[in-house]
Amino acid sequence: MILGFLAEGPLHGYELRRRMNRLHGYARAISDGTIYPAINRLIASGALLQTLETGRGATTRRTLHLTERGHEQLLQRLRAASGHDITDGARFFIVLAFLSLLPDDFERRAVLQRRLDFLDQPVGFFFDADRPLRAAEITDPYRQGILVTARAARRAELTWLRDQLGPTSRSVREQT
């Protein structure tokens, strides 16, 4: 997220923190104690550069810039998004938020395709022995709620993904 927001232009740490919390904080706020050390690790690793603004009356404030190396690192993470970045909805959203930064359309589609492949597997949270229970078989109303809302979310995202990935080559022919 830090690399992504800075790819859009230099920012102060404070403004970066605000944007991060807006994108992710609806579920879970990211604290200062998480963000500032993370920024400093990225500076230490050469992904970011900071220009200190001394001379102004305010507390030393800094502007953060993405280096060429940081930019390459970001593209690599987007390109290679897999594992939790694909399966965890909140993490996938972060990937999506910056996916436009990947210049290669083929690579962008590959990321969406991986998410689609993952979502194409049916969800199952509760089991009888090893058989996944269908919503109708679950008597607990709250567990039913989990299944119902998870499935609605999954369907909505699948619809969007299929629309993005576009009609298959066969349907394209049919449509014309």
Partner DNA sequence: ACTAACATGTAATCTGTTACATGATTGA
Partner DNA sequence: TCAATCATGTAACAGATTACATGTTAGT
Pairwise CA distance, residues 125 & 147, whole Å: 8
Pairwise CA distance, residues 156 & 3, whole Å: 29
Minimum distance, C-beta of residue 54 to its own copies, in the bound complex (Å): 27
Pairwise CA distance, residues 102 & 20, whole Å: 20
Among 9, 55, 57, 141, binds its own copies (CB under 8 A): 141
Nearer Cβ to DNA (106/127): 127
Among 31, 40, 45, 87, binds its own copies (CB under 8 A): 87
For the segment 24-83, give every residue that binds DNA (CB under 7 A): 28, 30-34, 36-41, 56-62
Nearer Cβ to DNA (15/137): 15
170 binding DNA? (CB under 7 A): no
131 binding its own copies? (CB under 8 A): no
15 binding DNA? (CB under 7 A): yes
Q: Which two tokens stand for residue 48?
A: 């970011």
CA 132 to each of CA 95, 137, 139, 148, 166: distance values in angstroms, whole numbers, following the listed order: 30, 10, 14, 14, 31
Minimum distance, C-beta of residue 163 to DNA, in the bound complex (Å): 32
Pairwise CA distance, residues 142 & 145, whole Å: 5
Determine contact, residues 123/147, Cβ cutoff 8 Å. Answer: yes
Q: How many CB atoms lie within 10 A of CB 67?
A: 16
Q: Which does 30 bind (CB under 5 to 8 A by kind): DNA, its own copies, none?
A: DNA
Q: State the residues that interact with DNA by CB under 7 A.
A: 12-15, 17-18, 28, 30-34, 36-41, 56-62
